[in-house]
């Protein structure tokens, strides 16, 4: 079964909107685990507009499932944060400063030398590394050359085109997945996956190990409740 990692950034956004500690991020993470999530994902950014750096320390001390920290590894503070907490996985995302949300994968060809170096830094500390990539076979192949353990397929294009032509929308992802499998890379995926498109995506991608879902899942929880929402996402997998 593909694992579900719940991204709790939006919980932190809600908390920060009023200050204080309501909702409590640690309690939500523990509840997600209790309700069946097999991982917790956070994506701290330099301005700490949602996840704060202290949140990472607080979460690392209590999370029993896999902890995944996403972010821009060209930020020295991010690298130091990951090395200090040693999560199960770090996902390298090429965010620009001030970017609202991730909107593209790494150019693993252009940045090959840098990625090789930073992948080794994390792996030397026993941290599994995943590189955020677009569903492009050449980018997957170049990602493998960096020594990374996994890739995370950026799924916004699939989600955007799903209702217009789901068969066409999945083609590039299937090709990328076959390439990753052939090269021995683990496959994660995330961005705009939801209760409408997740099952089809998971059934179509060979070797899909993990999906990271935040915005859609937290939005659904406003109507369904967190426990029922997580249950429904797990059913899709």
Residues with catalytic annotation? Answer: 43, 70, 191
What does the alpha-carbon distance between residue 65 and residue 5 come to, in Å, rounded to a whole number? 9
What does the alpha-carbon distance between residue 113 and residue 211 come to, in Å, rounded to a whole number? 27
DSSP symbols for 78-138: HHHHHHHH--SEEEE--PPTT-SS------TTTTHHHHHHHHHHHHTTT-EEEEEE-S-HH
Question: Count H helices, E strands: the chain?
Answer: 11, 8
Pairing of strands 3-7, 128-133: unpaired
Residue 86, CA atoms < 13 Å, CB-side half-sphere: 5
What does the alpha-carbon distance between residue 224 and residue 50 come to, in Å, rounded to a whole number? 23
What does the alpha-carbon distance between residue 151 and residue 91 come to, in Å, rounded to a whole number? 8
What does the alpha-carbon distance between residue 121 and residue 137 come to, in Å, rounded to a whole number? 25
What does the alpha-carbon distance between residue 41 and residue 231 come to, in Å, rounded to a whole number? 17
């Amino acid at each position: 079964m593909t694992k579900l990692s719940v991204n709790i950034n939006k919980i932190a956004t809600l908390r920060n909107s009023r200050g204080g500690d309501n909702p409590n991020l640690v309690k939500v993470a523990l509840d997600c685990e209790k309700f069946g999530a097999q991982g917790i994902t956070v994506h701290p950014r330099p301005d700490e507009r949602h996840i704060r750096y202290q949140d990472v320390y607080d979460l690392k001390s209590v999370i029993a499932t896999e902890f995944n920290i996403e972010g821009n590894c060209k930020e020295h503070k991010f690298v130091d944060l990951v090395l200090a907490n040693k999560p199960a996985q770090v996902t390298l995302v090429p965010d620009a400063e001030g970017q609202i949300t991730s909107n593209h994968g790494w150019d693993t060809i252009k940045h090959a030398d840098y990625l090789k170096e930073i992948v080794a830094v994390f792996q030397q500390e026993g941290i599994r590394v995943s590189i955020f990539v677009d569903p492009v076979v050449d980018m997957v192949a170049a990602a493998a050359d960096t020594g990374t353990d996994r890739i995370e397929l950026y799924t916004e294009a699939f989600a955007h085109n799903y209702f217009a032509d789901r068969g066409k929308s999945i083609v590039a992802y299937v090709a990328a997945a076959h390439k990753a499998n052939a090269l021995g890379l683990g496959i994660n995926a995330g961005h705009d996956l939801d209760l409408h498109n997740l099952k089809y995506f998971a059934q179509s991608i060979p070797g899909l190990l993990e999906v990271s879902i935040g915005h859609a899942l937290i939005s659904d929880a406003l109507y369904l409740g967190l426990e029922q929402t997580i249950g429904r996402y797990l059913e899709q997998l």
